[in-house]
Amino acid sequence: MEYELLFFTTLANEERAGEIKKEIEETIVKQGGKISADFSDIGKRKLAYPIKKQTHAFFSFCRFALDETENIAELNRRLGLSDKIMRHLIVRADEVGKPLSEQMAREAKKEIPEEKIAETKIEKPVETKTKVEMADLDEKLDKILENPE
């Protein structure tokens, strides 16, 4: 199965990006995988929030093939332990580029049959307003005014 790996490292490690890529490739090969496309450098980008006091990082990604899906967990663990990689993400290549709404719709159909969705529709409660007559209001006001406490 094809996967894509996106990772980023600190700007201080940008010069050592070749070494980091080689280590990642060795890790993938040890898990029984094969790099199917060269590493592509996205370059320096601003992070959405600071990570380890860093506001910018150097991004790169690659595509690889791995037959045994059990090895993805071990690959994730090894990449997570690397002190050179700040963060990483591995996704199936066939899921890349699909609209999120399409993925969500497909998942929803798998989880809940349409008949059950129809059965679980929640109806809004009907609000009932009670009309108060002016005469009732006058009576209550008179009682309040007669018995000051």
CATH number reported for the structural domain that contains residue 61 in this entry? 3.30.70.60
**Cα separation of 31 and 40, whole Å?**
21
- Structure tokens of 36? 């199917």
The pLDDT of residue 8 is: 92
Q: Would you place residue 46 in the very low, low, confident or very high pLDDT band (cuts 50, 70, 90)? A: very high
* Domain assignment of residue 127, yes or no: no
54-66 and 33-51 beta bridge pairing: antiparallel
* Domain assignment of residue 48, yes or no: yes
- Tens digits of per-residue pLDDT, 51-97? 989 999 999 989 999 887 788 888 999 999 988 899 999 988 887 76
- How many domains does the chain divide into? 1
10 Å Cβ neighbour count for 65?
Answer: 15
* Domain assignment of residue 135, yes or no: no
* Domain assignment of residue 81, yes or no: yes
Structural domain boundaries, residue 85: 2-100
Among 53, 61, 62, 56, which residue's Cα sits nearest to residue 44?
Answer: 56
Task: Give the E-state strand segments of the chain in sequence order.
Answer: 2-9, 33-51, 54-66, 87-92
